[in-house]
């Protein structure tokens, strides 16, 4: 995978996290979830099971940000992420 391809994949993950996952809400800056996008991208590139991605995002929202995401929204986000061609 080229550096450009990785960057493009990161941008796609970032857009999903910002636009769909968004545990904080309130119009956060585009880079607000960048520290979560890289680990998600790594999971996707490793073809990790869908549940691993969900667990990571669930813990990040609940434990780190104290802003749990409803399971229905989390499932939609994981569907979007795992459908990416990375």
* Helix/strand/coil percentages in the chain, nearest 5: 70, 0, 30
Residue extents of the structural domains in the chain: 3-82
Q: Which fold has domain 3-82?
A: Endonuclease III; domain 1 (1.10.340)
- Quote the pLDDT of residue 22: 96
* pLDDT mean for each 10 residues of the chain (86 residues): 91 97 91 97 97 98 96 98 95
- Quote the pLDDT of residue 25: 87
- Quote the pLDDT of residue 45: 97
Task: Yes or no: say if 74 and 37 are a contact pair by the CB < 8 Å rule.
Answer: no
């Amino acid at each position: 995978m080229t550096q450009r391809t990785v960057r493009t994949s990161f941008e796609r993950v970032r857009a999903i996290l910002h636009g769909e996952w968004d545990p904080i809400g309130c119009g956060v800056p585009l880079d607000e979830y960048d520290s979560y996008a890289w680990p998600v991208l790594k999971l996707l590139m490793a073809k990790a099971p869908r549940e691993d991605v969900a667990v990571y995002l669930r813990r990040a929202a609940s434990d780190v940000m104290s802003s749990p995401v409803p399971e229905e929204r989390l499932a939609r986000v994981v569907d979007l992420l795992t459908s990416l061609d990375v």
